[in-house]
């Protein structure tokens, strides 16, 4: 089975359309979306429609759950909370039901577990950020104990692509555009973000995971970033890569 792993679309229609166009040329069996379809940018309804049209297997992100009222925005930054309030009335009742029904975790062919934030803990896992070695180790322990027997967990939420390997008692970050996974290793893999970059590289990113060959490939996609920027500004949402929003984020200190 060959999977396209995408995450953190955040209502960026241009980035999602460009990513799906590239995926269409990769001969994948299914798209797996690791959450946060909405939030921050100005095309939530259109992005939900595209995700549903391509029959992606989706898990819930914290922004998805906040928009449909399943969790509060109490721990969100002011920028993120404002985008949630703007997004909610843009969606139909059907779209809100779709988001509310998304599971926190999904297992695929007993080989891959999909989550948004982390595989641990049992509750609130969509809000845990695997951005420290200690947190990644907790999710590795949960992966090793998972009844499915899966050795790979795909996660999002950090908006940063990465492949982490637990093998022979050590955790290492594997680097490179294409990585072969060892049969005796456990892996946490993050495809980065489609629509809300938080690194110097502003392109959309996703991963192709070939479960048969045990190879993961990182792909980065160019798109016209001016269009979502202008749409967000028109809607009163300042995009994260704008200077004003960057200053606000630094004041808030906590990414959501």
Reply yes or no on whether the pLDDT at 161 is more than 70: yes
The set of residues, in sequence order, having a beta carbon less than 8 Å from that of 12 and lying 6+ positions away, is 40, 41, 43, 47, 194, 195, 196, 204, 228
- Domain span at residue 139 reads 2-252
| Burial track 198-231 (b if 16+ CB lie within 10 A, e otherwise) | eeeeebbbbbbbbbeebebebbebebebeebbeb
Q: What is the CA radius of gyration of the chain?
A: 17
Kindly report the number of other CB atoms within 10 A of residue 252's CB atom.
15
Cα–Cα separations (whole angstroms), residue 1 to 65, 207, 213, 241: 29, 14, 9, 36
pLDDT in the model for residue 249: 44
Q: Shortest CA distance to 205 belongs to which of 217, 193, 215? A: 193
| Mean pLDDT for the chain overall | 93
Kindly report the number of other CB atoms within 10 A of residue 246's CB atom.
14
pLDDT in the model for residue 243: 44
CATH value at residue 107: 3.60.21.10
pLDDT in the model for residue 229: 86
Q: What are 168-193's pLDDT values in tens digits?
A: 999 999 999 999 999 999 999 999 99
Confidence of residue 199 (pLDDT cuts 50, 70, 90): confident
Mean pLDDT of 237-247: 52
Peptide bond just before 139 cis, omega within 30 deg: no
Residue for token digits 């495809």? Answer: 191
% of residues, the chain, pLDDT over 90: 88
What is the total count of domains within the chain? Answer: 1
Confidence of residue 255 (pLDDT cuts 50, 70, 90): low
């Amino acid at each position: 089975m060959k999977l396209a792993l995408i995450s953190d679309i955040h209502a960026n229609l241009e980035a999602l359309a460009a990513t799906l166009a590239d995926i269409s040329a990769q001969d994948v069996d299914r798209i797996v979306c690791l959450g946060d379809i909405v939030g921050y940018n100005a095309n939530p309804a259109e992005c939900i429609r595209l995700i549903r049209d391509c029959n992606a297997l989706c898990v819930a992100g914290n922004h998805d759950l906040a928009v449909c009222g399943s969790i509060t925005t109490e721990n969100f930054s002011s920028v993120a909370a404002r985008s949630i309030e703007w997004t909610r009335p843009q969606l139909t009742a059907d779209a809100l039901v779709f988001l509310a029904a998304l599971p926190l975790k999904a297992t695929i062919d007993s080989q891959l577990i999909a989550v948004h934030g982390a595989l641990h803990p049992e509750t609130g896992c969509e809000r845990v950020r695997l951005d420290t070695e200690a947190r990644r180790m907790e999710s590795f322990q949960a992966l090793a104990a998972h009844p499915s027997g899966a050795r790979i967990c795909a996660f999002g939420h950090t908006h940063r692509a990465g492949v982490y390997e637990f093998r022979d008692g050590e955790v290492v970050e594997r680097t490179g555009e294409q990585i072969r996974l060892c049969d005796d290793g456990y892996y946490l893999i993050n495809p980065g973000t489609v629509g809300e970059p938080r690194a110097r590289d502003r392109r959309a990113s996703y991963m192709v995971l070939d479960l048969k060959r045990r190879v993961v490939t990182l792909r980065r996609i160019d798109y016209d970033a001016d269009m979502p920027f202008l749409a967000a500004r028109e809607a009163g949402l300042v995009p994260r890569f704008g200077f004003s929003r960057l200053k606000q984020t630094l004041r808030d200190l906590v990414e959501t």
